[in-house]
Structure 1
Amino acid sequence: MYDTQRVTASASNLRAFFNRTFTWMAAGLVLTAVVAWYTVSSASLMSFVAGAILPLLLVQLALVFGFGFLLPRVSATVAGVLFAVYSALNGLTLSRIFLVYTDTAIASAFVTAAGMFGAMALIGYTTKVDLTKVGSIAFMALIGLLIAMVVNLFLQSGPLAFIISAVGVIIFAALTAYDIQKLKAIAQYGPAGDGWDGSVGGVSGEVGEKMAVFGALTLYLDFINLFLMLLRLFGFAGGRRE
């Protein structure tokens, strides 16, 4: 009787954690879309983005890499604000896709990304196979992909750009499944690492909310990058504006 109640409570806590995580993620995506749409409709904002694209990207990178360090040390409210700021800044930089790709290509890439993300998330949540090795391989492949992207900035090779996009889709699909499984473990056993002492045994309350925001950022990045890689592929298929 006791074990049954404990398992039921654990399953309930797990659902609650992922509900909060996906709610935060959805809010971030909506904020990004709204900011991107508003930016592309404003000539002055588009001019600002064009002139400040490098500083904007550097600030975004700083937020992403600093988030993990700050998370144990700030409140859930501050963590949520940081995620919102990152989502808004990403909306500014992503606004340029509306100038490069057709509305049809953007919509098609989004729907495809949503379907793939959902499928890989389901696999990551339900599989009994340990995806740690998959995550490690995908991360190493991601480093190689970033190097290839930098090289192609100089080569400007169309075939290489296509290969990068296709491989990128595979990498971020794999990372989605891995990250879901990792977040499931965090929800069940608690976060590990510096600053999280005493939180082992699942997440709830303040810690739970902060980990939900962390999970939202992780999955947000998986989805956005999957979407962008697919969008580039749709661009090769005639989805670019003339």
Structure 2
Amino acid sequence: MNEPRRQFGSVAQTGSVAIDQGLRQYMLGVYNYMGLGVAATGLFSMYVASNEAIVRAIMGGPWMWVGFAGILGMGWFAPKVMMNGSKVAAHGMFWAYAALWGVMIAPMLYMTQQAGAAQDIYRAFFMAASVFGGLSLWGYTTKKDLTGWAPILGAGMIAVIVAIVLNALFFHSTMGSLLTSSAVILLIAGVTAWETQVIKSMYREGSAMNDRAAIFGAFMLYGSFVTLFIHILNILGIMRD
């Protein structure tokens, strides 16, 4: 009488183990892609930051705003390209995004180095990594459904982006920059946890879509990490000055 139950339990347990192993491999792929993207951005941005002529060209024209619009645009179109296009297109979008962020970050790194505070770059990186790692781990392990966070986080990010643009164009307020960067860090902390849970839920055992989902997941988390780094570095610079 108990034998069928034992067999059924064994099959269920084996299936669960297979799913767990597949999910771990999938998430490892997400973080590997993300890590490579961050490394590529760091190398590219440091190279650009070491060339004063390129940095001044970026800062002296409309290129910063063009790059900012490009990042927002790629963030908008990435889901369609990565999930509905080919794997090659998904890779192309991800690495183009990483390269564009490298260009955008370079002037900030250049100014930090010129101020004799290169150590702030490494400090900001490790602080961003600590915040990101803690929130992503919590998002992966928590049983709490974070779906309801999406509208609040989305509205908050739109409000902060508007505030950043207004401050850059009209107010030029150091306090305004400090407040908006602090708000971004708080929002991105929540976004990181929510994104990790969403990425985890995208996994399907044995699905061919997992590879593209992993690239898209890396794209999402990469953007959050880089945003954390930028605004932590901005706060360190304001506090230093």
- Given that residues 186 and 203 in structure 1 are in contact (C-alpha distance below 8 angstroms), is that contact kept between their aligned partners in structure 2? no
Aligned residue identity for 1:166: S
**How many Å separate the matches in 2 of 1:219 and 1:178?**
10
Report the equivalent of 1:176.
192
* Count of residues paired in the alignment: 225
- Residue 180 of structure 1 and its aligned partner are, at CA, apart by 0.4
- Residue 144 of structure 1 and its aligned partner are, at CA, apart by 1.2
Written as runs of structure 1 = structure 2, the 5 A alignment for 1:12-91 is 12-50=21-59, 51=61, 52-91=63-102
Report the equivalent of 2:231.
229
Aligned residue identity for 1:215: G
Report the equivalent of 1:193.
none
- Given that residues 80 and 213 in structure 1 are in contact (C-alpha distance below 8 angstroms), is that contact kept between their aligned partners in structure 2? yes
Pick which of 59-68 and 41-50 moved more: 41-50
- Given that residues 55 and 110 in structure 2 are in contact (C-alpha distance below 8 angstroms), is that contact kept between their aligned partners in structure 1? no
Task: Give structure 2 stretches of 5+ with no counterpart.
Answer: 1-9
**Residue 86 (structure 2) pairs with residue 93 (structure 1):** no
Q: Could you tell me the percent identity over the aligned residues? A: 25
**How many Å separate the matches in 2 of 1:137 and 1:103?**
36
Cα distance change on mapping 1:131 and 1:205 into 2, 3 Å: closer
Written as runs of structure 1 = structure 2, the 5 A alignment for 1:141-156 is 141-153=156-168, 154-156=170-172
- Residue 172 of structure 1 and its aligned partner are, at CA, apart by 0.3
CA distances 1:89-125 after superposition (whole Å, capped 9, x unpaired) = 2111211112222211111111000001000011101
- Residue 204 of structure 1 and its aligned partner are, at CA, apart by 4.5
**Residue 182 (structure 2) pairs with residue 166 (structure 1):** yes
- Residue 205 of structure 1 and its aligned partner are, at CA, apart by 5.5
Aligned CA RMSD, in angstroms, stands at: 1.7
- TM-score normalised according to structure 2 size: 0.87
Matched position secondary structure for 2:148: helix
- Given that residues 192 and 221 in structure 2 are in contact (C-alpha distance below 8 angstroms), is that contact kept between their aligned partners in structure 1? yes
Please say which structure displays the higher CA radius of gyration: 2
Aligned residue identity for 1:15: R
Task: Give structure 1 stretches of 5+ with no counterpart.
Answer: 188-201
